[in-house]
């Protein structure tokens, strides 16, 4: 159960074991240069020739060209350069050429970027024209028909990398033929290799780039098909390798490995066929439907490769889904791999007219034709595990009431934050500064843990509580009287350290007191602590919630251990204190790597391991002990609550870790800033340990 399940086949694949053997053989024994005429060179050349012959047969290259190169990005450059150079020459000779460089709206970025680059560099100044797609991701053939007469080059991929949507190449070919278009035609075949039958020379396709690493060959090896008679200009000049079409000593290890993959495809005894792959997709889809209520698939299965599922889940961002899958060691990607880090909306789904929440929250799950029964079964189990983890954390609806969380919760939305004070024993809670974008989260949290919201207060007057009140329904008494900050009329008097008498409400054993501050008392701060009768001594104030300008007013009523919880947190500081130091980069000695961690834990038996990933990631995690020590789960959203206790305790060393090391650095920085000098971060996180 602890092994990784790799479901990101459209990004890249593992290398076929027989292909690894072939690459090792080339690097170890048959290492000759295929251009050398001695025996070692001839042996290498035989491997090269064999791989090419296999590709020629498999792809139906006919009398066209088939050259090896570094991958599809290079193949796309060569195709575009070849077509545009020919267009330029024709124009210089006075021939009429089309004015449009047409490319599908869902093409891989390599295509429009190359078109723009070479169009500029060659001084052609043709117009780049996106060809729209419909809701299923199919190219708009009516638009193509309208534009084809003025097209100089048309680029349409064979299958999409994000959705697996298969292009109607025959339909495009018919439009180009009907309209008598003289345009060159490039078809990016990267995702089609091994999944769609291709007989290239029997089509009108001029250029077809391929990439080895999408189908069990290593990275850095690819192929380019060029139709017989289509213009060709080498991208790389030099020693004349590949018949002068692509100079540079060949990547023989890559070619040998790709040759093995192509031979396996040709034999038909290694990879699974369409029907079996459709069966695997159906099982994964069923598991997703069962585990993630409301899941929506962003493409029609009957129009897509059987190896790709692209889906979105209401209420969940792609980051959250990625994180929970990664915790369960299921590797998927958010939208396209290139934009995963940014989690920007997918331009592919945008082009299909998919609503923004789905395009920004999309996950791609993809596998290759080597996928096996056991992996799919294990993936289905882990999908269920992820669903359970998300349900327990109230991120997706559940029939059962979840175990209630207790203490303080920070909900951040683009630099602003809402806070929730939760008392599990009494199931009472208070919401401070409810952000409109956090309403859905707060509501599902309250409902799924069956909390009663005692008050919804804000640090500014008339800050807008209506949306949350409407969403909460029976979990909040909307008729209870409150002032323009949401503070309940039914509050009790409480005396603070400076003698001021203020209003207070009880949340279980805790007391929340309001404090007017700011020049005209227009701002509110809220103090949280355990009252002593009708007094709240400064030393008992654990937390103070306020906008930054109001923090000075807290000096007279709190102590240096009181944690200040801000209404804005642009720099992920989580909380601060009146004596906190300025934020500085974490000192080098606070970074522990995986090897250093074991030594550190041995030297510090009292050290506490703290997993700062979200609770659903912790719950979905497969293996979670280190040197026999179980980590404590303290998501960053609950860091303030725990920081308060760590600062007041005996200050044992704290070792924070997360998935990749980003969040743990922030946690360690926060604790050091607050004065806990024994705070450390595991560099590289769980991914490297």
Summarize as ranges the residues that interact with ligand PLP (CB under 6 A): 71-73, 108, 110, 157, 161, 188, 190-191, 211, 222
Task: Identify the H or E element spanning 633.
Answer: strand 632-633
Between 77 and 459, CB nearer to ligand PLP: 77
Question: Nearest distance from residue 206's CB to ligand PLP, in Å?
Answer: 17
Q: What is the DSSP letter of 638?
A: G
Beta-carbon contacts of 381 under 8 Å, excluding residues fewer than 6 positions away, are: none
Choose between 309 and 686: whose C-beta lies nearer to ligand PLP: 309
Using an 8 Å Cβ cutoff, are 264 and 271 in contact? yes
Closest by CA position to 323, among listed 6, 609, 12, 616: 616
Q: How many helices (H) and strands (E) does the chain have?
A: 19, 31
DSSP 170: H
- How far apart are alpha carbons 647 and 650 in whole angstroms? 8
Q: Which entry of 155, 189, 338, 448 is annotated as an active-site residue?
A: 338
Task: Check if the beta carbon of residue 513 is closer than 8 Å to that of residue 498.
Answer: no
What is the DSSP track for 590-616?
Answer: GEE-HHHHHHHHHH-TT-EEEE-S-HH
CB closer to ligand PLP, 128 vs 228? 128
Q: How far apart are CA 422 and CA 439, in angstroms?
A: 16
CB of 1 to ligand PLP, least distance (A): 30
Q: How far apart are CA 531 and CA 535, in angstroms?
A: 6
| Minimal distance, residue 232 CB to ligand PLP, in Å | 19
Contacts of residue 499, defined as CB under 8 A and 6 or more positions apart, other chains included, come to none
* 191 touches 159 (CB < 8 A): yes
Spatial separation of the C-alpha atoms in residues 611 and 687, rounded to whole Å: 13
Supply the minimum distance, in Å, between the C-beta of residue 30 and ligand PLP.
25
Minimum Å gap between C-beta 348 and ligand PLP is 10
Three-state secondary-structure class, residue 651: coil
**Smaller CB separation from ligand PLP, 188 or 242:** 188
Q: Which is nearer to ligand PLP, 86 or 190 (CB)?
A: 190
Q: How many CB atoms lie within 10 A of CB 536?
A: 25
CB closer to ligand PLP, 340 vs 683: 340
- The least distance separating ligand PLP from the CB of residue 19, rounded to whole angstroms, comes to 16
Q: Given the complex with ligand PLP, which of 188 and 423 has the nearer CB atom?
A: 188
**What is the nearest approach in angstroms of ligand PLP to the Cβ of residue 104?**
11
**435/523 Cα distance (integer angstroms):** 17
Sign of CA dihedral 438, 440, 443, 448: negative
DSSP bridge pairs for 101: 128, 153
Nearest residue to ligand PLP, scored by beta-carbon proximity: 71
Bridge partners of residue 373, in order along the sequence = none
Q: Of the two residues 193 and 597, which places its CB atom closer to ligand PLP in the complex?
A: 193
Q: Which is nearer to ligand PLP, 157 or 322 (CB)?
A: 157
Distance CA 646, CA 670 (A): 12
Q: How far apart are CB 28 and ligand PLP at their closest, in Å? A: 26
Least Å distance, CB 48 to ligand PLP, is 19
- 448 belongs to the catalytic site: no
**CA–CA gap between residue 62 and residue 77 (Å, rounded):** 23
Spatial contact of 31 and 40, defined as CB atoms under 8 Å apart: yes
**Would you say 191 or 245 has its CB closer to ligand PLP?**
191
What 3-state DSSP class applies to 215? coil
**Strand, helix or coil for residue 86:** helix
Contact 189, 198 (CB under 8 A): yes
Per-residue DSSP letter, 220: T
Q: Are 415 and 568 in contact (CB under 8 A)?
A: yes
Say how far apart CA 254 and CA 22 lie, in whole Å: 9
Closest separation in Å from C-beta 105 to ligand PLP: 14
Q: How far is CA 150 from CA 98, 192, 354, in A?
A: 4, 28, 30
Q: Which residues are catalytic?
A: 338
């Amino acid at each position: 159960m602890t092994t990784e399940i790799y479901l990101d086949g459209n990004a890249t694949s593992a290398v076929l074991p027989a292909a690894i053997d072939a690459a090792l053989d080339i690097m170890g024994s048959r290492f000759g240069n295929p251009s050398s005429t001695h025996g070692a060179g001839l042996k290498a050349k035989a491997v090269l020739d064999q791989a090419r012959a296999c590709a020629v047969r498999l792809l139906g290259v006919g009398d066209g060209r088939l050259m090896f190169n570094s991958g599809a990005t290079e193949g796309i450059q060569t195709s575009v350069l070849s077509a545009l150079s020919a267009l330029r020459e024709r124009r210089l000779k006075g021939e009429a050429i089309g004015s449009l460089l047409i490319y599908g709206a869902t093409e891989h970025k390599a295509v429009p970027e190359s078109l723009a680059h070479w169009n500029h560099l060659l001084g052609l100044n043709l117009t780049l024209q996106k060809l729209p797609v419909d809701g299923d991701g199919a190219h708009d053939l009516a638009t193509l028909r309208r534009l084809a007469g003025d097209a100089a080059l048309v680029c349409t991929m064979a299958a999409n990398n994000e959705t697996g949507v298969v292009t109607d190449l025959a339909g495009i070919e018919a439009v180009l033929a009907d309209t008598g278009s003289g345009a060159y035609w490039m078809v990016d075949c990267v995702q089609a290799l091994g999944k769609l039958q291709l007989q290239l020379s029997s089509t009108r396709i001029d250029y077809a780039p391929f990439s080895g690493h999408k189908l069990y060959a290593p990275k850095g090896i690819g192929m380019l098909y060029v139709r017989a008679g289509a213009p060709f200009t080498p991208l790389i000049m030099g020693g004349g390798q590949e018949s002068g079409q692509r100079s540079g000593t060949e990547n023989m290890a890559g070619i040998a490995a790709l040759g093995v993959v192509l031979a396996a495809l040709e034999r038909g005894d290694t990879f699974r066929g369409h029907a079996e792959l459709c069966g695997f997709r159906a099982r994964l889809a069923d598991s997703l439907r069962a585990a993630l209520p409301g899941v929506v698939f962003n493409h029609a299965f009957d129009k897509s490769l059987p190896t790709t599922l692209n889906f979105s889940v209401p209420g969940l961002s792609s980051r959250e889904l990625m994180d929970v899958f990664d915790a369960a060691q299921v590797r998927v990607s958010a939208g396209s791999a290139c934009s995963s880090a940014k989690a920007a909306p997918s331009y592919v789904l945008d082009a299909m007219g998919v609503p923004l929440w789905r395009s920004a929250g999309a996950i791609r799950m993809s596998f290759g034709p080597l996928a096996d029964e056991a992996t799919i079964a294990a993936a289905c189990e882990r999908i269920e595990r992820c669903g359970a983890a998300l349900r327990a954390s109230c991120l997706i609806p559940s029939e059962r009431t979840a175990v209630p969380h207790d203490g303080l919760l920070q909900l951040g939305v683009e630099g602003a934050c809402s806070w929730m004070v939760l008392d599990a024993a009494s199931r009472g809670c208070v919401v401070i500064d409810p952000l409109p974008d956090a309403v859905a989260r707060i509501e599902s949290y309250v409902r799924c843990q069956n909390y009663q919201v005692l008050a919804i207060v804000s640090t500014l007057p008339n800050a807008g509580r209506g949306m949350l009140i409407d969403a909460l329904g029976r979990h909040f008494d909307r008729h209870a009287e409150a002032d323009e900050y949401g503070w309940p009329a039914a509050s009790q008097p409480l005396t603070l350290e400076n003698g001021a008498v203020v209003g207070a409400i009880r949340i279980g054993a805790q007391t929340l007191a309001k404090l007017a501050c700011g020049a005209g008392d227009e701002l509110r701060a809220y103090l949280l602590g355990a009252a002593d009768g009708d007094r709240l001594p400064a030393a008992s104030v654990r937390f103070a919630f306020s906008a930054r300008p109001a923090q000075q007013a807290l000096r007279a009523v709190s102590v240096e251990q009181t944690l200040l919880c801000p209404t804005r947190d642009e720099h992920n500081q989580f909380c601060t204190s009146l004596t906190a130091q300025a934020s500085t980069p974490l000192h080098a000695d606070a970074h522990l790597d995986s090897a250093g961690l074991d030594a550190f834990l041995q030297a510090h038996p009292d050290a506490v391991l703290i997993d700062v990933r979200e609770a659903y990631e912790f719950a979905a995690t497969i293996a979670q002990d280190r040197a026999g020590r179980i980590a404590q789960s303290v998501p960053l959203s609950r860091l303030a609550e725990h920081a308060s206790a760590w600062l007041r305790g005996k200050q044992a060393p704290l070792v924070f870790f997360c998935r990749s090391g980003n969040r743990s650095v922030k946690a360690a920085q926060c604790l050091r800033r607050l004065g806990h000098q024994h705070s450390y971060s595991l560099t590289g996180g769980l991914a490297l340990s």
